[in-house]
Amino acid sequence: MKNLLLFIFIPSYIFSQDPNIITTLEFGTKPLKINELDVTLEYIDESPSPDYFATNFSLEQSESVNYFSIGFMQDNFKEKFLMGLKADMFFKQMFGFNLDFSGGYLINASEKFKFGPKVDVTLFGIANKNIGKLENNTGYIQVNDTEFYDDEVKVSFQNIWFGLKPSLFAMFKPTSALHIFANVGYSLNASLVNIGFSGEGAVENENTSASENLDAENLTFIITHPSGVEDPKKEAKFGFNGLNFSFGVGINFNQLKK
């Protein structure tokens, strides 16, 4: 979490020093479609002396999630275009994060009001639910080609996604330093589900991570409720497609200094 916050805030601070860059804070609602499931998971690692992990966990039904984001944008790129980068975060059953690059075309309706089409490209998104720890009893734990030397390796249920969010964007500028904006659009995403592992790797005090597909021979993923699920991998995959909307504020810190 500490590294993630540094990744978000440091670029925002650096880019805010540019006279045309606006630092943004945004709140919104977007799709997060999760089926209600009870799951039994078993895993045997691939080291010469394998360790065994077993757990039960549940997912609660969901249709949407509220999120918070921080980023920066330039609303006068080549006079008519909008460009930006932002990180969305949410907490609902688990921690979720996605990194979006934005681009758009702005129409100047007046000196203080602009609107136009915008597209957010989700470069990477992950929803991560901790489900237990795999104990190291035999020297090291091996997941595919990654070796872990921690006494315990964290195990998580993960959904990873990427996609597009076309939207209509509007921005009101009451002062030269303050911007108020809103979006309404539709999310189009592709996603995959896997089991994640994280812990200390071969280098001391250096964390590493690995993932395992639900179809792996040494992993058993069974949905116990509801019964009769023919494709557990499909049923466990989250849905991110649908309507989204948000509002936010932008601050040009260089204009505050004037």
**What is the CA 209 to chain-centroid distance, rounded?**
17
DSSP class of 78: T
Alpha-carbon distance of 175 to 179, in angstroms, equals 7
**What is the CA 125 to chain-centroid distance, rounded?**
3
Looking at residue 63, what is its pLDDT?
96
Average pLDDT, the chain: 90
Other Cβ atoms within 10 Å of 136 Cβ, number: 19
**Chain segment 67-115, per-residue pLDDT in tens:** 999 998 987 766 688 899 999 999 989 999 999 999 999 999 998 999 9
Q: How many domains does the chain have?
A: 1
Q: What percent of the chain has pLDDT over 90?
A: 75
Run of H or E including 209 = strand 207-213
- Residue indicated by tokens 């509002």: 247
DSSP class of 241: -
Q: What is the mean pLDDT of residues 170-185?
A: 94
Query: Residue 149: CB partners within 8 Å, gap ≥ 6?
Result: 136, 139, 140, 199, 200, 201, 202
pLDDT band with cut points at 50, 70 and 90 for residue 242: very high
Looking at residue 205, what is its pLDDT?
78
**Chain segment 122-147, per-residue pLDDT in tens:** 999 999 999 999 999 988 999 999 99
Go through the chain and tell me how many residues it has. 258
Looking at residue 216, what is its pLDDT?
94
- Full domain range(s) for residue 107: 2-256
pLDDT at 165 over 90: yes
The two three-digit tokens of residue 82, written as one number: 């909008």
The CATH number of the domain holding residue 11 is 2.40.160
Alpha-carbon distance of 102 to 90, in angstroms, equals 19
pLDDT at 6 over 60: no
Distances in Å between the alpha carbon of 193 and those of 17, 123, 128, 190?
39, 17, 10, 11
Looking at residue 176, what is its pLDDT?
85
The two three-digit tokens of residue 81, written as one number: 């275009």
